[in-house]
Amino acid sequence: MNEEERYSIQTEKIKLTLIYAAFGTIGIVTHFIRLSSPGIVFYRAILGSLFIIVAALLSGRTIDIQSMKNNFPVLVATGFFMGLNWVLQFEAFRVSSVAIGTVCYNTMPIFLIIFASIFFKEKITLKTLCCIIVAIIGVVLVSNIMSLGFNSNIALGCFYGLLGAIFYALILIYNRKLDNIKMHDKIIFQFSFSALLMAIYILIIDKNAFWFDKNITNNDLIISVICILLLGLFHTGFCYIHYFNAVKRLKAETVAILTFIDPVVALFLSFFLLKESMTPLQLLGSILILSAALANELLKTKK
């Protein structure tokens, strides 16, 4: 590897580090948006898809409708999973805390290996099984169900976070079934379908979810609008484009390690900005979950 290539790889590492740090702020940003979770997802998906469409056209790329048609059933499934994944993630933040929702959401790698063993007959090794058991113990500790029972907001937030992780893992599993479609075409369809799904839900179930609360103050309204634009255009549009470009050029092990910047930043900001706290057992559970997920990612990349 020459000096220019080494510099390029180092640049991509820095870029991916910053992107994951940005992803870690999503919980903080959504905390200040005075909309329901389906409403947030609707605007996030709309703004994200528009950003990527404009970016693709400005860079001279064409949008391949035929490749979308060829992969239509799988794209519909992944778009459906993506919408549910985001709603559950934001609901986990809302009913419990950003910290707890983030930790439970990051059990995704555990569910991914379970689904891979089901769909693709990949073997679960003893080391991987140990990671799963450690993560389960961590979830029990974080949810605090031994003291609070199953009816607490913390337990409900853990449940939403775990469901979100399941749908996230299903997105990755079904993405393997996509054939001959470019990254920006795939994302545009998935975001657009997620927006459509949320629009249908809101029109049928809760039409008020499109709008901010009537009693919202002007300051809260301004902050909410800024945050929804930030979430849609920056976190979902800009960051997704640069994320996939960086991942293509880096080793899988490097990406696996950098992934955990996201939850660490989220936990740090939730503690210092939102003043959220955890009991010692919940903190231990968080460490167990993130350690199990990281160990599993490293085992997978080495394999």
Mean pLDDT, range 37-52, rounded to an integer? 95
The answer to whether residue 237 scores a pLDDT higher than 60 is yes
The answer to whether residue 267 scores a pLDDT higher than 60 is yes
pLDDT at 110: 85
Report the C-alpha gap between 303 and 300 in whole angstroms.
5
Mean pLDDT, range 255-270, rounded to an integer? 86
Q: Which among 156, 173, 155 has a CA at the least distance from the CA of 81? A: 173
pLDDT at 228: 96
- Tell me the pLDDT tens digit for each residue of 134-190: 888 888 888 877 666 667 888 899 999 999 999 999 998 999 898 899 988 999 999
The answer to whether residue 233 scores a pLDDT higher than 90 is yes
Q: Which among 26, 83, 102 has a CA at the least distance from the CA of 293? A: 102
pLDDT at 43: 96
pLDDT at 81: 96
Question: By three-state DSSP, how is residue 256 classified?
Answer: helix
The answer to whether residue 303 scores a pLDDT higher than 60 is no
Contact indicator for 199, 21 with CB cutoff of 8 Å:
no
pLDDT at 109: 84
H helix intervals, 120-176: 126-143, 145-148, 153-175
The answer to whether residue 245 scores a pLDDT higher than 90 is no
Mean pLDDT, range 282-291, rounded to an integer? 89
- Tell me the pLDDT tens digit for each residue of 181-209: 998 899 999 999 999 999 999 999 888 88
Q: Please give the full DSSP string across 74-92, using - where no structure is assigned.
A: HHHHHHHHHHHHHHHHHHH
Mean of per-residue pLDDT scores for the chain: 88
pLDDT at 278: 83
